[in-house]
A and B are shown apart, each in its own frame.
Chain A
Amino acid sequence: MLRVLLAALSLCIAAGAGAQAPVDAGPKAAPKAAVKPAAKKAATAKAPVRPTWAELSADQQQILAPLKDDWSNLEVERRKKWLGIAKRYPNLKPEEQARVQRRMQVWAKLTPEQRRQARESYKSIAKDKDRHGDLREHWAEYQALPPEERQSLVPSEKKRR
């Protein structure tokens, strides 16, 4: 009996580990052609994802204002994440707050794959931050390179795999 319970528990842990993807699965919009009328009906009949925009506090609405139009399309996990970011917001410096406001909409509109790539790159660059020096300067220098040179630096799909 104990062995059966342990086996079931380990299966569930494995399933839980594999359940990370839905947290940032991206926009709910599936390929339109694949949505059958019945499924559409069921989707519209579902209870609204909470919290809705109207349920946010005035402060939260003010901080997350750039996301207002997209809020109804965000999954519950992404809403939770944004509420967490809104909670940190008052502790940021004014210039950081301005950056968050500017980037919020851009970030929310990225595809899940782009967000994944940006996070991975951030981790990778942050790891060697001391080695790299002033990143803003490097970015400006890189952008000043001729387009064909910058293009040649992009690793090919084959290489990356």
Chain B
Amino acid sequence: MNETNETNFGNRVRLVLNQGLRLNAKQAERLHSARERALAARRPEPVGALAWADNVLGSFGGWGGLSMRLVMPLVALTLSVAALYTWQQNRVIADFEEIDSMLLTDDLPIDAYLDRGFQNWLKTRAAEE
């Protein structure tokens, strides 16, 4: 194909494209119904969970709002709980340290505190006096 033929072919294609697609009513109707069928058969996009998450996120004011309203308080809460737990454990250890020190140095031997009969006897005596 020489240069003149190429130009002529290009001009003819341009003319056809410029004229547009001429369809009769029947063809148009078939194309329309085919499109409707294709749309109906299309799988629905899994937008449910994403849409819900987006709504939740939106209600917190986007990512910035989420970190300020939810993440920060949760971090603060976790830190507080950890501190509280540590404090509580230390308090319990301190209580045991206190009472165990007294038990270990007491005038009475440990056996006396393990003997329920002795405690009963002491109570009875004290009540009688």
Contacts and interface: CB of A to CB of B under 8 A. Distances in A.
A81 B113 contact: no
A17 B88 contact: yes
| A24, A106, A121, A145: most-surrounded residue (chain B CB, <10 A) | A121
Interface stretch (A28-36, A39-47, A136-144): A136-144
A85 B95 CA distance: 11
A118 to B, nearest CB: 4
A118 B110 CA distance: 7
A121 B113 contact: yes
Nearest to B60: A1
Contacts of A1: 69-70, 73
A9 B80 contact: yes
B105 A92 contact: yes
A101 B116 CA distance: 25
Nearest to B94: A84
B108 interface: yes
B128 to A, nearest CB: 12
Contact of A122 (B84, B97, B103, B120): B103
B88 A19 contact: yes
A139 to B, nearest CB: 5
B96 interface: yes
Contacts, number: 137
A56 to B, nearest CB: 16
Contact-residue size bin, chain A (C-beta under 8 Å from the other chain): 35 or more
Among B70, B108, B113, residue most surrounded by chain A Cβ atoms (within 10 Å):
B113
A118 B113 contact: yes
A22 B50 CA distance: 44
Contacts of A121: 113-114, 116, 119
A153 B117 contact: yes
B117 A122 contact: no
B46 to A, nearest CB: 29
Nearest to A2: B73
B122 interface: yes
A118 B107 CA distance: 14
7 contacts: A8-B77, A19-B85, A100-B105, A103-B103, A119-B99, A139-B109, A153-B118
